[in-house]
Amino acid sequence: MRSLLETVQITKSAARALAKLDHAARNSGLLAIAEAISEHNDQILEANAQDVENAVAANLATALIGRLQLTPSKVKAMAAGVKDVARLSDPIGIRQIHRELDTNLVLERITCPLGVLGVIFEARPDAVTQIAALAIKSGNGVLLKGGSEAVLSCEAIAKIISGALQTSQISPEVVQLLTTRAETMAILQMDRHIDLIIPRGSNDFVRYIQANTNIPVLGHADGICHLYVDQTVDIDQAVLITVDSKTQYPSACNSIETLLVHRAIAPQFLAKVIPALKIKNVEIRGCSETLTLCPDLNAANDADWSTEYCDLILAIKVVDSLDAAIIHINMFGSKHTEAIATTNLDAVETFSSDVDAAGIFHNCSTRFADGFRYGFGAEVGISTQKMPPRGPVGLEGLVTYKYHLKGEGQIVADYSGSVPKSFTHRDL
């Protein structure tokens, strides 16, 4: 029985071999996986049925069981998703800089895989194929840890992936399934061997991971997004945007938690938006000024401005000005996605430059903040850090680059001293 560290090292070396395969070879591994999933869908469904039975017996939450349960059409979608990844363009080997520093001294900056990824997620066994596909596409090895309630499903899927890779040029060792919490804790400490951790799960879960590893973490804990409705605005349009941003998928990180309304438009706008939200069963919590205008609402308290409800609840605050809205957003927002509804382009400009967030939206729903909707073809996470990669991150987030400098004996001494050679710095 090999140790976890040995497994990680084997994954790393398998990933190094994977990185040398060309795009066609990586893609044919993906197509083999997609085919194997379709062919062995019964094995996946059988294992999953057992997981679901255990979950029911253990009295797990219905929502969790819903995410856990696979159906024939979900398994079909898993296979289709892997094929979609195969169709994306190759993220590695892209030359970003090509520059002559001097005659026959040429610098290139070329994208390459990060190495080994650690992806830790809750429930949703269908995530296994998607994550494995993205890792293989980008030339990375991956350690996958699913939720304990999905362990049989994950194991069945991992076995199918492994079998499919055995028929390809890719070593099955590039995809490893971890099954215990102890292994998760151990990999968080392996900052010499693992290059990126991607946590997918609740806010607390992500915060815990961030606080307990020195490995870079791609993801976000909170998604506290706002919509600000300015004084000059198309009210009906702003109502539609509010309802969509709150209700289209309330547990998503890009849903809004607080609606900010300019005082000058508050009476007219609130009169329209509140009934529209109520029809969708949204509980509204208003600031004192909102309550003056609409006395039958619940009152918001200070904690509401910094709460991500993940639910059909919306806080509303009336503000004096665009600046007051920006100050509120920069104080309470999580730098994810912030929207303004207005017909005043000067206000848009100020909002765009002064609000500190990955996404600045004008007259559209915050729910568009998503890698697929942005046209990235995949989303490996949404980052609320300020350093790139920021916002919805596609395959770009799974690669880094190396500088390659090729010469024919050049030394720096010749470019310094009293009669230094000069650099040409000519882009090729």
- Which spans of this chain sit near a copy of itself (rule: CB under 8 A)? 16, 19-20, 99, 101, 105, 107, 112, 114-115, 195-196, 216, 234, 237, 240-241, 243-245, 248-249, 348, 352-354, 356-365, 367-369, 373-375, 385-388, 390-392, 400-413, 415-416, 423, 425
**Could you tell me the smallest distance in angstroms from the CB atom of residue 72 to a copy of itself?**
19
Q: Which is nearer to a copy of itself, 118 or 359 (CB)?
A: 359
By CB atoms closer than 10 A (0-12, 13-18, 19+), residue 66 is exposed
Name the nearest CA neighbour of 153 among 185, 121, 182, 183. 121
Of 180 and 424, which CB lies nearer to a copy of itself in the complex structure? 424
* Cβ 308 to a copy of itself shortest distance, Å: 17
DSSP string, 55-122: HHHTT--HHHHHHH---HHHHHHHHHHHHHHHHSPP-SS-EEEEEEEETTEEEEEEEEE-SEEEEEE-
Cβ distance to a copy of itself smaller for residue 46 or 388: 388
Tokens of 186: 């151990």
Residue whose CB is less far from a copy of itself, 178 or 339: 339
Q: How far is the CB of 418 from a copy of itself (least distance, A)?
A: 14
Taking the complex as a whole, the smallest distance from the CB of residue 218 to a copy of itself amounts, in Å, to 9
Residue among 239, 362, 264, 272 at smallest CA distance from 320: 264
Tell the smallest beta-carbon distance from residue 362 to a copy of itself (Å): 5
CA torsion 248-250-254-255 (nearest 10°) is 80
Contacts of 231 (CB under 8 A, 6+ apart): 262, 263, 264, 265, 342, 344
- In the bound state with a copy of itself, the residue whose beta carbon lies nearer, of 240 and 313, is 240
Smallest distance from a copy of itself to CB 187, Å: 16
Tell me the CB-side half-sphere exposure of residue 275, using CA atoms within 13 A.
5
Q: How far apart (Å, rounded) are the C-alpha atoms in residues 88 and 126?
A: 19
Select 57 or 413, whichever has its Cβ closest to a copy of itself: 413
Give the nearest distance from C-beta 128 to a copy of itself in angstroms. Answer: 24
Question: Would you say 164 or 224 has its CB closer to a copy of itself?
Answer: 224
| Per-position DSSP letters for 284-330, written without gaps between them | EEE-HHHHHHSTTSEEP-GGGGG----SSEEEEEEESSHHHHHHHHH
Distance CA 318, CA 336 (A): 22
Beta carbon nearer to a copy of itself, 205 or 374: 374
CB of 340 to a copy of itself, least distance (A): 10
